[in-house]
């Protein structure tokens, strides 16, 4: 309440706010506008590596608002802010500038309603920020920082947009987002000028995901090498020979891998036959790897196969 009363609430005015049945006409007599599905957004932002620049949003997860729907939402948003402003003036007109219980409940109700609609508009346009960030050629700026600046610009655009002028919100928001990106680039440039020797963009980004993935791949490779060396997957002599030569595992050391044709010359078969033997051996190794290293039991594998068969 203290925060709400500390500053006069701004809003985009409209003649519709001053009719006798304004609240009913703006809220009750208007069709509901679909709320967006934002479950896709958090996985995108969790992965702040370079691959996140290539991520896309499925069309089924997006809610594209028509101009009429945007006008409904912005009218509702600004009318709620208008009511907050009116209640602020009524409270400030009191001698003690303290709201009555009824006024406090009413102003909080309108403030929460404005926040909900603002959030709905912003969430509907989250994909716009990602699309603009991917097209912006600012490789020296961290992608997550770029999206963060874009999201803040999106919220400011929601507060300032006048739907009564007949333009789409995306047209207005794009310019605001691009300006925010430009400011972020200028801020980074000034920082690099002030600290030219100490600044390194690579140190600003965490490599936890890459390190964790590399450690896992290295452990998996060591486990595959052990499976082949100790023949844990029950490979035949020919299968072991093919795998060892194809992946350079002879005598437990890392040697230069051979081509299919070279391996075929050693065991006296065609390279197509070598490929078949290799695929069969790799399938055995995969089963052993999943059972012991990845923790997948035979029951789990049978259950997954049954589910896959049922879905087909």
Q: Among the three residues 138, 163, 194, which one is the final residue of a domain in this structure? A: 194
pLDDT in tens, 237-269: 888 888 888 877 765 555 678 888 888 888 888
Q: Among the three residues 170, 194, 218, which one is the final residue of a domain in this structure? A: 194
| pLDDT score for 223 | 82
Give the CATH number for residue 251.
1.10.10.10
Yes or no: say if 15 and 113 are a contact pair by the CB < 8 Å rule: no
Task: Name every residue whose Cβ is closer than 8 Å to that of residue 44 and which is 6 or more positions away in sequence.
Answer: 52, 55, 57, 130
What is the number of structural domains in the chain? 2
Q: Are residues 265 and 179 in the same domain?
A: no
Asked if pLDDT for residue 201 goes beyond 80, the answer is: no
| pLDDT score for 115 | 97
Q: Are residues 113 and 176 in the same domain?
A: yes
| pLDDT score for 312 | 45
Task: Give the other-Cβ count within 10 Å of 124's Cβ.
Answer: 22
Q: Is residue 201 part of a domain?
A: no
Q: Are residues 265 and 125 in the same domain?
A: no
Q: Is residue 179 part of a domain?
A: yes
Q: Are residues 108 and 161 in the same domain?
A: yes
Q: Which two tokens stand for residue 36?
A: 């967006």
Q: Are residues 187 and 114 in the same domain?
A: yes
Distance CA 26, CA 77 (A): 10
Q: Is residue 15 part of a domain?
A: yes
More confident of the two residues 288 and 302:
288
> pTM for the full model?
0.58
Least trusted range by pLDDT, from 63-67, 68-72, 91-95, 109-113: 63-67
| 40-46 contacts at long range (C-beta below 8 A, 24 or more positions apart) | 41/126, 44/130, 45/144, 45/147
Q: Predicted confidence band at 61 (pLDDT cuts at 50, 70, 90)?
A: low
| pLDDT score for 242 | 87
| pLDDT score for 73 | 95
95 burial via Cβ count (<10 Å: 0-12, 13-18, 19+): exposed
Q: Are residues 79 and 116 in the same domain?
A: yes
| pLDDT score for 123 | 93
- Which residues form the domain of 220? 208-311
| pLDDT score for 42 | 67
Q: Are residues 117 and 182 in the same domain?
A: yes
Q: Are residues 118 and 213 in the same domain?
A: no
Q: Is residue 161 part of a domain?
A: yes
Q: Is residue 199 part of a domain?
A: no
Q: Are residues 151 and 223 in the same domain?
A: no
Q: Are residues 24 and 76 in the same domain?
A: yes
Q: What percent of the chain has pLDDT over 70?
A: 81
| pLDDT score for 98 | 93
Give the CATH number for residue 40.
1.20.120.1810
pLDDT in tens, 102-156: 999 999 999 999 999 999 999 999 999 988 888 887 767 788 888 899 999 999 9
Distance CA 271, CA 295 (A): 34
pLDDT in tens, 271-283: 899 889 889 988 8
| pLDDT score for 244 | 83
Distance CA 106, CA 91 (A): 11
More confident of the two residues 176 and 222:
176
| pLDDT score for 311 | 47
Q: Among the three residues 149, 165, 194, which one is the final residue of a domain in this structure? A: 194
Tell how far CA 25 is from the center of its chain: 37
Q: Are residues 112 and 243 in the same domain?
A: no
Q: Are residues 123 and 223 in the same domain?
A: no
| pLDDT score for 49 | 45
Yes or no: say if 122 and 37 are a contact pair by the CB < 8 Å rule: no
| pLDDT score for 50 | 45
Asked if pLDDT for residue 234 goes beyond 60, the answer is: yes
Asked if pLDDT for residue 6 goes beyond 90, the answer is: yes
Distance CA 133, CA 41 (A): 14
Q: Is residue 202 part of a domain?
A: no
């Amino acid at each position: 309440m203290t925060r709400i009363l500390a500053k006069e609430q701004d809003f985009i005015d409209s003649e519709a706010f001053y009719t006798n049945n304004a609240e009913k006409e703006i809220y009750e007599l208007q069709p509901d506008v679909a709320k967006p599905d934002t479950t896709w957004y958090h996985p995108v932002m969790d992965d702040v590596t370079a691959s996140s620049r290539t991520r896309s949003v499925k069309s089924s997860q997006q809610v594209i608002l028509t101009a009429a729907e945007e006008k409904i939402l912005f009218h509702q948003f600004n009318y709620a802010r208008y009511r907050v402003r009116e209640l602020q003036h009524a409270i400030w007109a009191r001698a003690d500038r303290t709201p009555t219980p009824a006024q406090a409940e009413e102003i909080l109700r309108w403030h929460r309603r404005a926040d909900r609609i603002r959030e709905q508009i912003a969430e509907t346009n989250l994909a716009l920020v990602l699309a603009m960030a991917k097209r912006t050629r600012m490789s020296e700026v961290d992608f997550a920082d770029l999206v963060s600046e874009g999201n803040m610009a999106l919220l400011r655009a929601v507060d300032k947009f006048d739907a009564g002028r007949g333009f789409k919100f995306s047209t207005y928001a794009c310019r605001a987002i691009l300006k925010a990106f430009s400011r972020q680039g200028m801020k980074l440039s000034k920082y690099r000028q002030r600290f030219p020797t100490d600044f390194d963009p690579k140190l600003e980004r965490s490599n936890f995901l890459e390190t964790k993935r590399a450690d896992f791949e290295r452990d998996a490779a060591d486990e595959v090498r052990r499976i082949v060396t100790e023949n844990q997957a029950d490979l035949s002599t020919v299968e072991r020979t093919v795998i060892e030569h194809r992946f350079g595992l002879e005598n437990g050391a890392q040697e230069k891998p051979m081509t299919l044709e070279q391996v075929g010359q050693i065991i006296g078969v065609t390279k197509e036959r070598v490929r078949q033997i290799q695929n069969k051996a790799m399938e055995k190794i995969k089963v052993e790897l999943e059972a012991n290293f990845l923790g997948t039991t035979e029951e789990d594998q049978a259950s997954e196969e049954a589910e896959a068969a049922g879905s087909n």
